[in-house]
C-alpha cells in the first residue's frame, strides 16, 4: 500500500535495514514535519477562533 500512494515514504518499508546515519536523517525529517504540523495546527485554530468572533 505504501508503494502505491503518491508521496509515500518507500524508505520506511526497509527501515530495519537503514544505517544509523540514515535513521538519524529520517528522525530529523519527521521532527521537522511534526513541528510544522504543530505550528500549522495552532495557526489554523487561531484563524478559526478569530473567524467565529
Cell numbers describing residue 20: 544509523
Q: Mean pLDDT in the chain?
A: 76
Tell me, what DSSP letter sits at residue 31? H
Quote the number of domains for the chain.
Answer: 1
Range list of H helices, the chain:
20-51
More confident residue, 21 or 9: 21
Domain carrying residue 24: 17-53
More confident residue, 2 or 16: 16
pTM of structure: 0.57
- Placement of cell 544505517 in the chain: 19
Say how far apart CA 51 and CA 33 lie, in whole Å: 26
Please state the length of the chain: 53
Q: Is the dihedral of CA 18, 23, 25, 31 positive or negative?
A: positive
Considering the domain boundaries, does residue 1 fall inside one? no
Considering the domain boundaries, does residue 34 fall inside one? yes
pLDDT value at position 50? 60
Amino acid at each position: 500500500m505504501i508503494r502505491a500512494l503518491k508521496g509515500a515514504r518507500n524508505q520506511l518499508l526497509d527501515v530495519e535495514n537503514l544505517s544509523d546515519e540514515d535513521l538519524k536523517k529520517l528522525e530529523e525529517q519527521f521532527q521537522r514535519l511534526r513541528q510544522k504540523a504543530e505550528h500549522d495546527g495552532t495557526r489554523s485554530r487561531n484563524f478559526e477562533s478569530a473567524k467565529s468572533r
